[in-house]
Chains A and B, each alone.
Chain A
Amino acid sequence: MSDYTFAYLDEQTKRMIRRAILKGVAIPGYQVPFASREMPMPYGWGTGGVQVTAACLVPEDRLKVIDQGADDTTNAVSIRRFFQRTAGVETTEATAEATVIQTRHRIPETPLTEGQILVYQVPIPEPLRFLEPRETETRKMHELEEYGLMHVKLYEDIARHGQIATSYAYPVKVEGRYVMDPSPIPKFDNPKLGHSPAIQLFGAGREQRIYAIPPYTQVVSLDFEDHPFTPSKAPHDCDLCGAGESYLDEVITDDRGGRMFVCSDTDFCASRRAAGHHGALSAPEPEGVA
Chain B
Amino acid sequence: MTHQPKFLVADQPLFAVEGLTKRYGARIGCADVSFDLFPGEVLGIVGESGSGKSTLLSCLAGHQRPNEGRLSYAGRDVLAMGETERRRLARTDWAFVHQNPRDGLRMGVSAGGNVGERLMAVGARHYGTIRATATDWLGRVEIAADRIDDRPSAFSGGMQQRLQIARNLVTGPRLVFMDEPTGGLDVSVQARLLDLLRNLVRDLGLSAIIVTHDLAVVRLLADRLMVMKDGRVVEQGLTDQVLDDPQHGYTQLLVSSVLQV
When A and B assemble into the complex, do they touch directly, with CB atoms less than 8 Å apart?
yes
Q: Is A254 an interface residue (CB 8 A)?
A: no
- Please name all residues of chain A whose beta carbon is closer than 8 Å to the beta carbon of B128 when the two chains form the complex: 226
- In the bound complex, residues from chain B placing their C-beta under 8 Å from that of A140 are 87
Bound-state Cα–Cα, A224 to B116, Å: 13
* Cβ-closest chain A residue relative to B149: A159
Residue among B112, B119, B125, B149 having the largest count of chain A Cβ atoms under 10 Å: B125
Q: How far is the CA of A128 from the CA of B149 in the complex (A)?
A: 21
Contact B110 A156 (CB under 8 A): yes
**Quick one: CB contact mask for B211-254 with A, threshold 8 Å, 1 for yes?**
00000000000000000000000000000000000000000000
Is A155 within 8 A of B84, CB to CB? no
Judge whether B84 and A152 touch: CB under 8 Å.
no
Query: Is the C-beta of B130 less than 8 angstroms from some C-beta in chain A?
Result: yes
Taking the nearest CB of chain A, how far is it from the CB of B148, in angstroms?
8
Proximity string of chain A (138-151) to chain B, C-beta cutoff 8 Å, 1 when within and 0 when not: 00100010111101
12 A-B Cβ contacts within 8 A?
A131-B106, A131-B108, A146-B87, A152-B106, A152-B117, A152-B120, A155-B112, A155-B120, A156-B109, A156-B110, A226-B126, A226-B128
A146 to B130, CA, bound (A): 18
- Against B, the Cβ 8 Å flags (1 = close, 0 = not) of A141-171 are 0001011110110011011100000000000
Q: How far is the CA of A147 from the CA of B124 in the complex (A)?
A: 11
Is A259 part of the binding interface, using a Cβ–Cβ cutoff of 8 Å?
no
Q: Mark B61-93, 1 if CB is under 8 A from A, else 0.
A: 000000000000000000000011001100100
Q: Name B115-166 residues within 8 Å CB distance of A.
A: 116-122, 124-128, 130-131, 148-149
Asked if A148 and B121 make an inter-chain contact with CB atoms under 8 angstroms apart, the answer reads yes
User: Which of the residues B91, B118, B122, B127 comes within 8 Å of A226, measured between beta carbons?
Assistant: B127
- Check B113–A156 contact: CB distance below 8 A: yes
Known contacts being A156-B109, A159-B149, is A151 close to B87, with CB within 8 Å? no
- Bound CA–CA A146/B148 (angstroms): 24
- Collect the chain A residues with CB atoms within 8 Å of residue B149's CB: 159-160
From known contacts A144-B87, A160-B149, infer whether A152 and B122 are also in contact, taking CB-CB under 8 Å: no
Give the docked Cα–Cα distance between A148 and B125 (Å). Answer: 10
Q: Answer whether residue A287 sits at the interface, using C-beta atoms and an 8 A cutoff.
A: no
Chain B hits for A285, CB < 8 A:
none
Dominant secondary structure of chain A at its interface with chain B: helix
CA gap between A155 and B124 in the complex, in Å: 11
Do residues A225 and B126 form an inter-chain contact, with CB atoms below 8 A?
yes
B87 / chain A contacts, CB cutoff of 8 Å: 140, 144, 146
Contact indicator B126/A152 (Cβ below 8 Å):
no
Question: Is there contact, CB below 8 Å, between B84 and A144?
Answer: yes
Interface pair A224/B112, CB less than 8 Å apart:
no
Residues on B with beta carbons closer than 8 Å to the beta carbon of A224: 125-127
Which residues of B from 20 to 79 have beta carbons under 8 Å from A? none
B84:A148 contact, CB within 8 angstroms:
no
A149 to B117, CA, bound (A): 6
Q: With the chains together, A144 CA to B85 CA distance in Å? A: 9
Give Cα distance in the complex from A146 to B112, angstroms.
Answer: 19
Measured CB to CB, the residues of A under 8 A from B are 131, 140, 144, 146-149, 151-152, 155-156, 158-160, 224-227
Q: Nearest-CB distance from A164 to chain B (Å)?
A: 9
Q: How far is the CA of A152 from the CA of B128 in the complex (A)?
A: 13
Interface bits B92-104 vs A (CB < 8 Å: 1, else 0): 0000000000000
Q: A224-B126, A225-B126, A226-B126 are in contact. Are A148 and B110 (CB under 8 A)?
A: no
Bound CA–CA A155/B130 (angstroms): 9
- Asked if B121 contacts A158 (CB within 8 A), the reply is no
CB distance from A66 to the nearest CB of B (A): 35
Of all chain B residues, which has the CB nearest A154?
A: B127
Closest 5 pairs between A and B when the two form their complex, measured CB to CB: A148-B121, A151-B120, A224-B127, A148-B120, A225-B126
* A227 interface neighbour in B117, B118, B127, B148, Cβ under 8 Å: B127
* Known contacts A144-B87, A225-B126, A226-B127; A159 and B121 CB within 8 A of each other: no
Chain B residues whose CB sits within 8 angstroms of the CB of A156 once the complex forms: 109-110, 113
Which A residues are in CB contact (< 8 Å) with B117? Answer: 148-149, 152
Instruction: Kindly list chain A residues whose C-beta atoms are within 8 Å of the C-beta of B127.
Output: 155, 158, 224-227
Q: Which residues of A contact B124 (CB under 8 A)?
A: 151
Task: Check A152 against B125 for contact (C-beta < 8 Å).
Answer: no
Smallest beta-carbon distance A169→chain B, Å: 18
Known: A159-B112, A160-B149. A151 touches B125 (CB 8 A): yes
> In whole angstroms, what is the CA distance A148 to B110 when docked?
15
User: Could you tell me if A159 and B110 are in contact, using CB atoms closer than 8 angstroms?
Assistant: yes
Bound complex: CA A131 to CA B108 (Å)? 8
Give the one of B91, B120, B128 with max A CB within 10 A. Answer: B120
Known: A149-B117, A155-B120, A159-B149. A144 touches B110 (CB 8 A): no
Residues of B within 8 A of A159 (CB): 110, 112-113, 131, 148-149
Interface contact B125-A225, CB-CB below 8 Å: yes
Query: Contacting A148 at CB < 8 Å: which of B83, B108, B118, B148?
Result: B118
